Amino acid sequence: MNLLDKLNWRYATKIFDNTRKVSDEDLNFLKEAIRLSVSSYGLQMYKVLIIENPEIREELRKASWNQSQITDASHLFIFCNYTDNFNQHVDNYIQLIINTQKTTDIKGLKQYGEFIKSNIANKTLEERKSWSEKQTYLALNNLIIACADREIDACPMEGFDKQVYNRILGLDELGLNVSVIAPVGFRSTKDVTQKRKKVRKSAEELFETA
């Protein structure tokens, strides 16, 4: 199948087959797709937790209105945005550029880092929170497309208690906040939603060229 066929194949899986697991090879493919995601300034102001532990997932399921995907999928991807120490993250990123690209323009990159810091500092707390959370959705999209490419099922979810997730995973102390999650695995034959025709706006309604 080509990419459009695979995007038509995928859907937000409601019931996973809890006997099937994503292989290590495919898991590494999904992780690399996330790693290569676009992000504002290239900062990647997030961390992605991949939860396999069944006891932890049982606790998280309780904080997700008992939705079965949390425990029945092969893996649970949790996208967390950073909430503080933005300047340090920028400094780390600039140093990563220097180390990776072996550039000699150290002064120019340091100035670029200060520019980024200034832009972040000029945001209100609410704007900064919104901005950092949005970055995780860009990475999530890479995961969804990568899953479709390998014919692995996924279900992006916002239906959970973020504060309880943060507490269970000890994220507040790490300067992290759960933004969005995605159980990943393989659809169950019992999931009737896979048989429904995909509903999307027509191209004529969705797009306008000026």
Per DSSP, what are the bridge partners of residue 81?
A: 46, 177
CATH number at residue 13: 3.40.109.10
The pLDDT of residue 29 is 98
State how many domains the chain has: 1
Residue with tokens 């973020």: 162
Rounded Cα distance between 51 and 5, Å, is 29
Answer yes or no: is 114 within a domain.
no
In angstroms, the CA 101 to CA 98 distance is 6
**pLDDT-derived band of residue 123, with 50, 70 and 90 as boundaries?**
very high
In this prediction, residue 207 carries a pLDDT of 98
**pLDDT value at residue 66:** 98
Token code pair at residue 88: 């340090």
Residues 6+ apart with CB under 8 A from 54: 71
Q: Is residue 118 part of a domain?
A: no
What DSSP state is assigned to residue 12? Answer: B
Q: What φ, ψ does residue 157 adopt, rounded to 5°?
A: -140, 140
Cβ count near 78 (within 10 Å): 22
Indicate the average pLDDT of the chain: 97
What percent of the chain shows pLDDT beyond 70? 100
* pLDDT in the model for residue 27: 98
Which pLDDT does position 88 carry in this prediction?
Answer: 97
| pLDDT range class, residue 153, cuts 50, 70, 90 | very high
Q: How far apart are CA 82 and CA 67, in angstroms?
A: 26
User: What mean pLDDT do residues 180-188 have?
Assistant: 98
pLDDT of residue 209: 97
Average pLDDT (10-38) is: 98
The percentage of residues in the chain with a pLDDT greater than 90, rounded to a whole number, is: 99
Whole-number Å distance between alpha carbons of 35 and 32: 5
pLDDT at 151 over 90: yes
pLDDT single digits (tens) 81-120 = 999 999 999 999 999 999 999 988 999 999 999 999 999 9
Domain assignment present for 24: yes
Q: Please state, in angstroms and rounded to a whole number, the distance separating the CA atoms of residues 90 and 181.
A: 25
What gap in Å lies between CA 10 and CA 146, rounded to an integer? 11
Domain range for 129:
3-86+125-206
Residue 62 resides in a domain: yes
Looking at residue 1, what is its pLDDT? 76
Residue 148: inside a domain: yes
